[in-house]
Chains A and B, each alone.
Chain A
Amino acid sequence: MNSEQIEHLNSNQLLQAVVDRSDLPEALQAHLGACLRCRTEKERFEQELTHLGDMAARLAPMPSQPITLPRPAPRSALGDFLSGRRVFGAALTVAAAVLLVVLGTFVLRTAPVGQTGHSHQELLEARQLMTEVDLLVENALPQVYLEIAGDAYAASDDEFIRFLIPPLESDSLTSMTGKRGLVLC
């Protein structure tokens, strides 16, 4: 390309090329690629800027203090595996909870006899109450009514039960409606 026949990049376009060459119109980019004069001018300016940066780095002081980072937390094999400070915090909470449980158990075991005796008595009463409740659940009628109704021996008489409540498969009504409770009404 004969650089004398065409217009060279003006100083603003050269600046633009230094900022970002790809922002120039394509024709100017092509000219810059081909024209030695424009390219040299651009490169000379870029070298000045590079030199400025290099000088600054060379003539700037060096840091004299090392960087101090926070002291690392004590580490264990598990700690190494579960690295990270949040995990460590969670582990610390769990450890505190375990410690509380252990301490709590220890305090209960070493508590005065009167206190443990009292707790034991309460436990026995609670068990007795639960046994009574279980009996009521099995059959809510008092013994005297069970004897009148003959139900006191009903549990051992399967035939009598089948008479009162026929098995489901033999009940056409329940199998038709699909409502198991109907037969009892």
Chain B
Amino acid sequence: MAHANDKTPTSAITELVHKAREGNRYAFEQLVVRFQGEIYRMIYYRTRSRLDAEDLTQDVFMKAFDHISHIKEADRFRSWLFSIAVNQVRDFQRKQRFRSLFKVSDDRADFERTEDQGREEPQALDHLLQKDFWRQVRLILDKLSRMEREVFLLRFFDHLNIKEISKVLKKNESTVKTHLYRALAKFKQESRLRQWLQEVSS
């Protein structure tokens, strides 16, 4: 998976944000290129559905485009974008819960299904690895509370630091740390996933 764009220097991103804020469309398009994959994955980790991740990523960038002129700190663009994404996902999950009351099946979730559409067909081994990995991840994430899960994902899957998480979730840093600590304690007990990870990496 190509993540070459993830290496864009922070100063270059800040420069692009400044330009986009002044109405430079090309600069905003550059920001989309830089962050689309990251935001898509972030949403996928939470919705467990490729199709929903596509739709919500589009919504996140539309919202960002509409509000880019209001961004105060250009150097915090990434966490600003994650705030929008977190809110979009929350809103989506609220609607999902409402729909589930009326027993509309969640047929878009594919966390447990294999990725068998669209992208290049992976090799059989990768295919199994992928399937197994997401099943294990789901098991651990389902054991965490909503806040523990969000903080854990933001920290270790989305690579935000404590300060950024605090901004994104609008919680103070000590609250974030408490949830992260609890999530880590639960993760540590998941010897099966940890063992599996060690085997895969060795």
Residues B177 and A67 in contact, CB atoms below 8 Å apart? no
Residues B50 and A53 in contact, CB atoms below 8 Å apart? no
Q: How far is the CB of A50 from chain B (nearest CB, A)?
A: 7
Other-chain contact of B57, A18, A49, A60, A67 (Cβ < 8 Å) = A67
Chain A contact residue count (CB 8 A cutoff): 34
A161 on the B face (CB < 8 A): no
> Which B residue sits closest to A70, measured CB to CB?
B65
A-B contact count (CB 8 A): 101
Residues B200 and A55 in contact, CB atoms below 8 Å apart? yes
Q: Across the interface, which residues of A come within 8 angstroms of B105, CB to CB?
A: none
Residues A65 and B58 in contact, CB atoms below 8 Å apart? yes
Q: Across the interface, which residues of A come within 8 angstroms of B157, CB to CB?
A: 52-53, 56-57
Alpha-carbon separation in the docked complex, A12 to B200 (Å): 27
Residues B29 and A61 in contact, CB atoms below 8 Å apart? no
B194 on the A face (CB < 8 A): yes
Residues B54 and A59 in contact, CB atoms below 8 Å apart? no
Q: A56-B137, A69-B65 are in contact. Are A16 and B181 (CB under 8 A)?
A: yes
Q: How far is the CB of A67 from chain B (nearest CB, A)?
A: 5
Residues A69 and B61 in contact, CB atoms below 8 Å apart? yes
Q: A20-B177, A51-B197, A63-B57 are in contact. Are A57 and B65 (CB under 8 A)?
A: no
Q: Across the interface, which residues of A come within 8 angstroms of B134, CB to CB?
A: 59
**Most-contacted residue by chain A among B23, B36, B65 (CB, 10 A):** B23
Interface residues of A (CB under 8 A from B): 11-12, 15-16, 18-20, 23, 45, 48-53, 55-65, 67-70, 72, 83-85
14 intermolecular pairs with C-beta atoms under 8 Å apart? A11-B188, A20-B177, A48-B198, A52-B137, A53-B159, A56-B133, A59-B134, A60-B44, A62-B37, A65-B54, A69-B62, A70-B65, A72-B25, A83-B22
